Structure 1
Amino acid sequence: MRTIARELVLSIGATVACLLVAPVADATPIAGVEATTLAETTVADTHYILRELTVQPGGTTGWHYHDGPLIAVVRKGVLTHYDSSCAVDGTYRPGETINERSGVGYTHIGRNQGSEPLVLDVLYRLPVGAPPAEDAPNPGCPFQ
């Protein structure tokens, strides 16, 4: 009985130690974003998704990256786009296009810092089975 109790205590202690030492990579929340899929198709090994995204004032996409490149057009509002260094890497207005690269090395966040809804048409070019976006932790920026 003592051996079982000792093993249980050691196991619990090891688990607690791992939880205290292991870094936690929590995804950042999406807020005020509505996505509507307008069309999608698959050609060979590429899945194409056309979506309309509406981001309310103060809304954010959360930190994320894509498994394939995308192109977007701003229909209404202003998109402020930040890269993982916390710097604004683009401010996009109606009629302007956004080209986003793919991969975890291009983690970014989009924010609507304006007073009206932001509306985007987004075409994703993804590997078959990949989601439109992969959540990522905040890279250390003082905002979400």
Structure 2
Amino acid sequence: MVESNSSRSSTDRSAPEPIAVDVARAVVTDSLRGIPLDATHVTVSKTVVPPHGSTGWHYHVGPVLVLVAEGTLTHTFADGSTDTVGAGSCFVEPHGPENAHVGVNPAAVPLVLHAVYFLPDATSPLAVPVPAPN
């Protein structure tokens, strides 16, 4: 079938092709268990933590898939344990007040994180601030 120019649809071959741009890539360093398959509210964000800056103590109301695009992230958890994750890695942050943590950028360059938040509803905050543990 031959189409005339006047009857071409939005899938016309002369229309511009969609453009996909990689924002960041990473290797999964942890299991992705804990990501709900039935999530209905998802938010994607980019966070830039300045040199020697901090996220402040907080927890998430749903699990968060985090990709470290640039820099190094040092996590400290309420139990005093820490872990360090470098650029090109991704992991899942668990949710709930029992998983309070702080993210610190120990370097003299910005830390860039991309995160996918799996939220229980449309009004859920991305993070809930909490005081630092004693």
Common fold, TM-score beyond 0.5?
Answer: yes
Structure 1 counterpart of 2:113: 120
What's the Cα RMSD here? 1.6
- Unpaired runs of 5+ residues, structure 1, are 1-37, 39-43
Deviation at 1:139, TM superposition (A): 0.7
Q: Which has a greater percent of strand?
A: 1
How far off its partner does 1:45 sit? Answer: 6.3
2:61 counterpart of 1:67: yes
Q: Could you say what secondary structure the match of 1:113 adopts?
A: coil
User: 1:83, CA displacement in angstroms?
Assistant: 0.5
Q: Which amino acid aligns with 2:59?
A: Y
The answer to which structure has the higher helix fraction is 1
- Match for residue 78 of structure 1 among 59, 69, 72: 72
The TM-score normalised by the length of structure 1 is: 0.64
| Alignment size in residue pairs | 97
1:25 match: none
Tell me if 1:103 matches 2:96: yes
Amino acid at match of 1:74: V
User: Which gives a bigger RCO, structure 1 or 2 (Cα 8 Å, sep 6+)?
Assistant: 2
Do the aligned partners of 2:39 and 2:118 also contact (CA within 8 Å) in 1? no
1:78 Cα offset (Å)? 0.3
Identity %: 37
Q: Which digits, 9 at most, give the CA deviation of each residue in 1:6-28, with x for residues without a partner?
A: xxxxxxxxxxxxxxxxxxxxxxx
CA distance in 2, matches of 1:119, 1:70: 15
Matched, 1:92 2:91: no
Q: Is the 8 A contact 2:40 2:119 kept in 1?
A: yes
Pick aligned residue for 1:47 from 35, 41, 51: 41
